[in-house]
Structure 1
């Protein structure tokens, strides 16, 4: 199967669950929006709510559906409900599983990888040539009940010596106050955040979204303009 072309989003705001939060994100300049289907998350979107939310965003931003260790039946249902441009796998999926999902649906797959050390970045190389995009997130604590950075950044300096070959989005602990520095220092293909623009878990804040996107643009200018710089 021919691999579809994908332009990495410059900024993805994830964990959206209302039409208003979609409007705020797109209006501020986000070019991708993420919907989480994972019941343990405070940002969980039920299957029956996905068609209306995805329809509200369609044509205005890339639609990304995030799920964790989903089986084929659940992925079939999610893709049928949201028709996403990108499937985001945020669990313990292996390279073989990522390849199988790509083959089954014929659309780009973004694989989240938790980073806590240089060894984790080296291990992320297993997905080179398999995933279309990586999402580098902070590695959760061992006792965490859900994946992801949980609002905490990882040590970005690790990327100076261990940079993935696959285009990646930077995530984990990003906020309006630190994202410009992160972009200038790391020069990722894009950035992704959720809790950093919330007034409470799962509740997006319009002012924080605007501030975040303004900081993203400032960081991109400081990094030298468009696209990933290596």
Structure 2
């Protein structure tokens, strides 16, 4: 689907497995029904891959999970070079609201924007793109954005009632994702290091358990 939305309506929680670099992890995402798979195009990430590598992985399965490309403050030329090689369904961006909206207009693809938060008063009230990712702010010593395997304090989401699509990220794992969605009501969840053997190398069994546990406490998505 080109909208970057959930592939079905009703009782369904979206699951994204990010940072795919190798065949076993990618194949497990497809086998166990992930909604999105994420390719990281950011050189400082241990999960960084080239557009050619992403294209080879993507070509292993026609259809299935939507392909998401993750970019950190990308230039238009960078995005264009990647899209010339690998077909992506969604662009996940670390940038300002205005820049994310500009990318959406320029490339005509759904854009998801990261919104790191540390407290309830930092939760967004509007969304200028197709989806927001709510995750913890990185530590001051971090060399890259994102959850950095840190768990968000889920209590900051209590009482937050967004009217736009969003996704919970940061410190999720097969062991805590069920509790996370029960506490936050997240309509979608995103994991990377929580299903890995080592950075960039996924554990197929952990992927299976994460997807199953994320969807265990089903609820109706409006």
Shared fold per TM-score greater than 0.5 = yes
More moved, 37-46 vs 78-87: 78-87
Matching of residue 39 in structure 1 with residue 43 in structure 2: yes
| Higher RCO structure (Cα 8 Å, ≥6 apart) | 2
1:8 aligns with 6
2:21 aligns with 17
Secondary structure in 2 aligned to 1:165? coil
Residue pair 1:109, 1:133 contacting (<8 A) in 2 also: yes
Secondary structure in 1 aligned to 2:170? coil
Residue pair 1:8, 1:189 contacting (<8 A) in 2 also: no
The CA distance in 2 between the partners of 1:57 and 1:137, in whole Å, is 30
Q: When the two structures are aligned, how many residues end up with a matched partner?
A: 215
| Cα root mean square deviation, aligned | 1.6
Q: Deviations over 1:146-178 (max 9, x none)?
A: 001111111111112334332111110101111
Q: Deviations over 1:38-65 (max 9, x none)?
A: 1111110113322212222441110000
2:99 aligns with 97
Counterpart among 211, 215, 219 of residue 217 in structure 1: 215
1:120 aligns with 122
The CA distance in 2 between the partners of 1:151 and 1:164, in whole Å, is 25
Normalised by the length of structure 2, the TM-score is 0.91
Normalised by the length of structure 1, the TM-score is 0.88
The CA distance in 1 between the partners of 2:3 and 2:42, in whole Å, is 27
Residue pair 1:8, 1:133 contacting (<8 A) in 2 also: no
Counterpart among 55, 74, 78 of residue 78 in structure 2: 74
- Mark the runs of 5 or more structure 2 residues left unpaired by the alignment: 8-13
Change (3 A) 1:38 1:141: same
Shift of 1:66: 0.4
- Mark the runs of 5 or more structure 1 residues left unpaired by the alignment: none
